[in-house]
A and B are shown apart, each in its own frame.
Chain A
Amino acid sequence: MATVPKVDVGTDYKEKYGFFVPEDYVFKAKRGLNPEIVKEISWMKKEPEWMTKMRLRSLEIFRKKPMPKWGADLSVIDFENIFYYLKASDKQSTSWEDLPPDIKKTYDRLGVPEAERKFLAGVSAQYESEVVYHSLQKELTAKGVIFTDTDSALRDHPELFKEYFGTVIPPADNKFSALNTAVWSGGSFIYVPKGVRVDVPLQAYFRINAENMGQFERTLIICDEGSFVHYIEGCTAPIYSTDSLHSAVVEIIVKKNARCRYTTIQNWSTNVFNLVTKRAMAYADATMEWVDGNLGSQITMKYPSVYLMEPGAKGDVLSVAFAGKGQHQDAGGKMIHVAPNTTSTITSKSISKAGGRTSYRGHIKIYPGATNSKSFVKCDALLLDDESRSDTYPYNDVDAENVTLGHEATVSKVSDEQLFYLMSRGITRSEAETMIVNGFIEPFTKELPLEYAVELNRLIQLEMEGSVG
């Protein structure tokens, strides 16, 4: 879509230019949420007018939409007491000494290198992977792949951006997608041209700078026909954040015959509310795979979904959640079958410990006309003690002929037989339990790149010892 910038000084002069610039010319972050702040964010980023307008419209929608009444208790979020945009310089105020001791201890135990630790903790902005990033960038550019942060993409690839932004998840989708669209900042933008396969998994890690770990990330991935990309966000080591609300939006378009895999390992510190909307559109014979691990945060509500838009599309969600003390992981997946001959699977594994609560919440919707579609959902929950809780809320709607849909779920504890077997081999109880839990989530771990899998296993070990969180 071609854009003709309209210059119409007079009618919207005030809206566009009537903001107040502080005397010292340094942007001072303010708490709270109102049209002025949204306009300031947009101005700071030198965004085109359509984006400013979209942000303002989204803010309106956010205001109007009620808080969701289902799922976790979100009433404690005070939207007026949040910084919606911080510049890099504002963010680095944390010092290593100020970090909570349990986070430091975890870094130690995981064996995370010093520089990386500081980066994860939000103490430093620089990270050695920049070198890796630069050589990777050269390779990608040669293939025509765009891999950049979302703010730069809006600036450097405006046409592509405008064509897809907000098409998979419109602002009015839900309260938090509206909030994100109003105040988004950071996130990744990936475009893979026709027929291009990106062999190296692209990691947010590579191109991270201090601006990246935003509260309101916005990621947009476009896989053109016949292409392939694997994107990895997050990391196993806990990420310390002083922000209490994180609300990201991830939009993915997987065109004909393309395949996209999106791996997330979320391990926010346990003061964070993590409310994320993730959705992909899969077209003819395309494959979309979400691999989603949730370990940290106080509350996570996240249901990666795939809209199967054309015949032969395939959707996959593999989800793991771990809830320790005071945590509630409300995660799952959604598969919306719109076209015939589409298939989907959701596999969910959850572990609750020390009073933690995990909920699987899913929706399979098979629309009229989506004949010969198949969907299978499997949820397994492991409860490690009698203080913890596990819920399953699967919604299955079948409105088409010749559809096969199956749902299965089990909830259990660590079995006495397994424990007995391991302990009779001289393994201590806690080691045995750790082994059983690691075995339980193995279908997930084996889908991860090796270094992540190793770290995850180590992290589970730590969680099981009760030394963390």
Chain B
Amino acid sequence: MPFTLETMEEIASLHGEPAWLRKRRRSSFDAFERLPAPSRIDEEWRRTDVSGFDPGQYSKLEHLDGQKLVLPSTLPPGVILKPLRQAAQDHPDLVEPRLFSLVHADRDRFTALHAAFFTGGTFLYVPDGVVIEQPVIGQHFSHEGGTSVLPHTLIVAGKGARFNYLDEYIAEDGNEIGYRSGSTEIFAGEGSQVGYVAVQKWGRNAWHFADQRAELQKDASLRLFNVTLGARFSKTRVEATLQGQGADAELKAIYFASGEQFFDFHTLQDHQVGNTRSDLLFKGALQDVARTVYAGLIRIEKGAARSDAYQANRNLVLSDHAKATSIPMLEIDNNDVRCTHGATVGPVDPLSMFYLRSRGIPEATAKRMIVQGFFGDVLDRIPFEHARALVEAELEARLG
């Protein structure tokens, strides 16, 4: 197992990481060694086969310095935006209590590995009342195959802060093999408004694991959007905890799986207090022999009266051999709520197809138009223009 304690110490010392972070890496490493590999008896992994994945094969860590940050031309005073490891040294008071407090290192072997060896990643701190008009963009590149790229994003929004952030995971070689994980923790303070978009475009043979978790205080609003296009295997957890009254989380995603791609999504809308709202919509199209698994849970805690939660997963199956699994779950412990969920799996609607064909549109074009239309209503929910244009262009390119 080349992901060793020595490698880990090396990463830490190379960059002069503070003692608390080293200690944390070490305990994550212990968890990694201790935790068993997920087995098919585990409900979460029943349909998700990781038996063919050996992270040890990709233990060379790429670009320890993190990523390219596309900074807005001017940053308001007080805003901290720097590589996460740099921030750990410079602002331990802000980073130490939060890092891996939402995404727990000991949740499973892969989160533990990520927490022990994470390299790149961004820290963004926006103080109370500060607004950043232009979006902040973190681009995570992988330059070569056979390596690991493990960036971690930590976002802290102060009271009433308002900004948009985009994480872009980009492979230079579209066919690269490797281990990728991109995890994100978001602390949305009272009354803050945070837009977060993650666009995953790793190479088609990569293994990708992502844990995104947000915590929303009173009246905070989060608009989180995922786009999953790359990797042979991609497992993404998207979780939001609504901790303060009036919190509002919108969790949306689109995915387009083709070839032999396998995508897994696990989501959680955790309403801990009342008068909170969450709205989830995951839409995906599947082609060729691709497979997708969606499993989501709305959890309404006992006291969370007058919560409003919505959860939907829609799958458009474009080929004969693609497979989609959809498991939308509810656990409702309070009666004064509004909760609805729905799931659909289906082919292209023959009526729509007939309509388009009867207008003289060739079948391939008609199919593309239907797919575009299918994604259309979610694309409108991408929180800011830059990301929207990017995602539209990506989809356009992939639909051909």
The answer to whether A446 has its CB under 8 Å from any CB of chain B is no
Chain A residues, Cβ within 8 Å of B327? 393-396
C-alpha gap A396/B320 in the complex (Å): 17
Instruction: Find the B residue at minimum CB distance from A411.
Output: B339
Shortest beta-carbon distance, A355 to chain B, in Å? 10
The answer to whether B326 has its CB under 8 Å from any CB of chain A is yes
Known contacts A408-B342, A409-B342: A391-B332 contact under CB 8 Å: yes
Count residues of A near B (Cβ-Cβ below 8 Å): 34
C-alpha gap A409/B345 in the complex (Å): 15
**B346–A410 CB distance below 8 A:** no
C-alpha gap A397/B324 in the complex (Å): 6
Instruction: Find the A residue at minimum CB distance from B343.
Output: A407
- With beta carbons under 8 angstroms apart, the residue of A390, A396, A402 that contacts B332 is A390
Within 8 A of B (CB), among A348-386: 352, 368, 371, 381, 383-386
Q: Residue-by-residue, is B304-324 near A (CB-CB < 8 Å gives 1, otherwise 0)?
A: 010000000001010111011
Shortest beta-carbon distance, A318 to chain B, in Å? 20
**B331–A407 CB distance below 8 A:** no
Chain A residues, Cβ within 8 Å of B330? 381, 390-392, 409, 411
Known contacts A386-B336, A391-B330, A409-B330: A398-B324 contact under CB 8 Å: yes
Instruction: Find the B residue at minimum CB distance from A404.
Output: B346
The answer to whether B335 has its CB under 8 Å from any CB of chain A is yes
Shortest beta-carbon distance, A365 to chain B, in Å? 9
**B43–A405 CB distance below 8 A:** no
C-alpha gap A390/B347 in the complex (Å): 32
Shortest beta-carbon distance, B296 to chain A, in Å? 11
- With beta carbons under 8 angstroms apart, the residue of B320, B335, B343 that contacts A394 is B343
**A383–B335 CB distance below 8 A:** yes
Chain B residues, Cβ within 8 Å of A409? 328, 330, 339-342
Within 8 A of A (CB), among B331-368: 331-347
The answer to whether B329 has its CB under 8 Å from any CB of chain A is yes
**B317–A389 CB distance below 8 A:** no
The answer to whether B27 has its CB under 8 Å from any CB of chain A is no
C-alpha gap A37/B400 in the complex (Å): 69
Within 8 A of B (CB), among A398-426: 398-399, 401-413
The answer to whether A319 has its CB under 8 Å from any CB of chain B is no
C-alpha gap A409/B330 in the complex (Å): 9
C-alpha gap A412/B341 in the complex (Å): 12
- With beta carbons under 8 angstroms apart, the residue of A381, A388, A403 that contacts B345 is A403
**A401–B320 CB distance below 8 A:** yes
**B317–A398 CB distance below 8 A:** yes
Known contacts A385-B335, A389-B331, A391-B330: A405-B323 contact under CB 8 Å: no
C-alpha gap A460/B262 in the complex (Å): 47
Instruction: Find the B residue at minimum CB distance from A379.
Output: B330
**B342–A384 CB distance below 8 A:** no
- With beta carbons under 8 angstroms apart, the residue of B47, B331, B345 that contacts A405 is B345
Known contacts A404-B346, A410-B340: A398-B333 contact under CB 8 Å: no
**B332–A401 CB distance below 8 A:** no
The answer to whether A20 has its CB under 8 Å from any CB of chain B is no
The answer to whether A70 has its CB under 8 Å from any CB of chain B is yes
Chain A residues, Cβ within 8 Å of B43? 70
Shortest beta-carbon distance, A455 to chain B, in Å? 27
Interface SS of chain A: helix, strand, loop or mixed? strand
C-alpha gap A424/B320 in the complex (Å): 56
Known contacts A386-B302, A389-B331, A389-B333: A401-B341 contact under CB 8 Å: no
**A401–B347 CB distance below 8 A:** yes
**B343–A396 CB distance below 8 A:** yes
The answer to whether B325 has its CB under 8 Å from any CB of chain A is yes
Chain B residues, Cβ within 8 Å of A386? 302, 305, 334-336
Chain B residues, Cβ within 8 Å of A399? 323
Instruction: Find the A residue at minimum CB distance from B329.
Output: A393
Known contacts A410-B339, A411-B339, A412-B338: A391-B302 contact under CB 8 Å: no
Instruction: Find the A residue at minimum CB distance from B334.
Output: A386
Chain B residues, Cβ within 8 Å of A393? 327, 329
**B331–A401 CB distance below 8 A:** no
Q: Residue-by-residue, is B263-289 near A (CB-CB < 8 Å gives 1, otherwise 0)?
A: 000000000000000000000000000
Instruction: Find the A residue at minimum CB distance from B322.
Output: A401
Known contacts A395-B327, A397-B325, A398-B317: A406-B343 contact under CB 8 Å: yes
Chain A residues, Cβ within 8 Å of B325? 395-398
C-alpha gap A166/B321 in the complex (Å): 33
Shortest beta-carbon distance, B305 to chain A, in Å? 6
Known contacts A389-B331, A405-B346, A408-B342: A396-B326 contact under CB 8 Å: yes
C-alpha gap A137/B325 in the complex (Å): 48
Shortest beta-carbon distance, B103 to chain A, in Å? 25
Shortest beta-carbon distance, B370 to chain A, in Å? 15
- With beta carbons under 8 angstroms apart, the residue of A70, A388, A403, A408 that contacts B317 is A403
**A413–B317 CB distance below 8 A:** no
Chain A residues, Cβ within 8 Å of B346? 403-406
Shortest beta-carbon distance, B286 to chain A, in Å? 10
Known contacts A395-B327, A397-B325, A399-B323: A381-B332 contact under CB 8 Å: yes
Chain A residues, Cβ within 8 Å of B347? 401-404
Instruction: Find the A residue at minimum CB distance from B333.
Output: A389
C-alpha gap A84/B217 in the complex (Å): 55
Shortest beta-carbon distance, A198 to chain B, in Å? 38
Known contacts A401-B320, A413-B335: A392-B342 contact under CB 8 Å: no
C-alpha gap A385/B302 in the complex (Å): 11
Instruction: Find the A residue at minimum CB distance from B341.
Output: A409
Instruction: Find the A residue at minimum CB distance from B318.
Output: A401
C-alpha gap A403/B318 in the complex (Å): 11
Shortest beta-carbon distance, B284 to chain A, in Å? 12
Instruction: Find the B residue at minimum CB distance from A374.
Output: B346
Chain B residues, Cβ within 8 Å of A413? 335-337
Known contacts A385-B335, A392-B330, A398-B325: A405-B344 contact under CB 8 Å: yes
Instruction: Find the A residue at minimum CB distance from B315.
Output: A398
Q: Residue-by-residue, is A169-206 near B (CB-CB < 8 Å gives 1, otherwise 0)?
A: 00000000000000000000000000000000000000
Chain A residues, Cβ within 8 Å of B336? 386, 413
**A388–B339 CB distance below 8 A:** no
C-alpha gap A412/B308 in the complex (Å): 10
C-alpha gap A430/B334 in the complex (Å): 20
Known contacts A395-B327, A398-B325, A412-B338: A383-B332 contact under CB 8 Å: yes
**B305–A407 CB distance below 8 A:** no
**A397–B341 CB distance below 8 A:** no
- With beta carbons under 8 angstroms apart, the residue of B321, B323, B328, B334 that contacts A407 is B328
Instruction: Find the A residue at minimum CB distance from B41.
Output: A69
Shortest beta-carbon distance, A5 to chain B, in Å? 42
Shortest beta-carbon distance, A394 to chain B, in Å? 6
**B326–A388 CB distance below 8 A:** no
Shortest beta-carbon distance, B367 to chain A, in Å? 14
Chain B residues, Cβ within 8 Å of A398? 315, 317, 323-326, 345
C-alpha gap A388/B333 in the complex (Å): 6
Shortest beta-carbon distance, A246 to chain B, in Å? 27
Taking each of A388, A396, A404, A413, which has the highest tally of chain B beta carbons within 10 Å of its own beta carbon? A396
- With beta carbons under 8 angstroms apart, the residue of B320, B329, B342 that contacts A391 is B329
Please name 8 further chain A to chain B contacts, defined as beta carbons within 8 Å, in addition to the given A386-B305, A386-B335, A398-B323, sorted by A numbering: A386-B334, A388-B335, A397-B325, A403-B346, A405-B346, A407-B342, A410-B340, A411-B339
Question: What 4 A-B pairs have minimum CB-CB distances, sorted nearest first?
Answer: A383-B335, A401-B320, A392-B330, A411-B339
27 contacts between A and B (CB under 8 A): A352-B335, A383-B337, A388-B335, A392-B328, A394-B327, A394-B328, A397-B323, A398-B325, A398-B345, A401-B317, A401-B320, A402-B320, A403-B345, A403-B347, A405-B326, A405-B346, A406-B342, A406-B343, A407-B343, A408-B340, A408-B341, A409-B328, A411-B330, A411-B339, A412-B337, A412-B338, A413-B335
